[in-house]
Amino acid sequence: MQPGLETLDYCFTGTRPAGSFTPVLVGVVGSGNLEVLLEPDAGDACSIHIETSARGFGAIWAAVVRDFHARHGLAGVRVSIHDMGATPAVVSLRLDQAAQELQP
């Protein structure tokens, strides 16, 4: 495997417009954890940008973000994930925590 971060990008068409909101940050980048940042974005997409130190897990990331989108269907949101080796369960937890912050 190559050293350094792996970058992954996903984009989904959302069905639940997030509307105007202040950026949301959950989690802390550190050993075995990650941070998730949600920012408003134009349009009906939910774009997800991942930077991870755990290279070669694209298929697992794809499954986790597809599952997140199926649960929340956010539209007009840009998601940035900075990962330092979190497990899929922690990633899902942080994504759900961030989405919960958008609830009215």
2 pLDDT exceeds 60?
no
- Beta bridge partner(s), residue 31: none
- Six-digit token string for 81: 């994930």
| Per-residue pLDDT at 103 | 77
Convert the chain into a string of H (helix), E (strand) and C (coil): CCCCCEEEEEEEECCEECCCCCCEEEECCCCCCEEEEEEECCCCEEEEEEEECCCCCHHHHHHHHHHHHHHHCEECEEEEEEECCCCHHHHHHHHHHHHHCCCC
| pTM of structure | 0.91
pLDDT digits (tens, 9 = 90+) for 32-59: 689 999 999 999 999 999 999 888 999 9
Instruction: Go through the domains of the chain in sequence order and give each one's CATH number.
Output: 6-100 (3.30.230)
pLDDT tier at 3, thresholds 50, 70, 90: low
In 3D space, the residue among 41, 36, 35 whose CA is nearest the CA of residue 75 turns out to be: 41
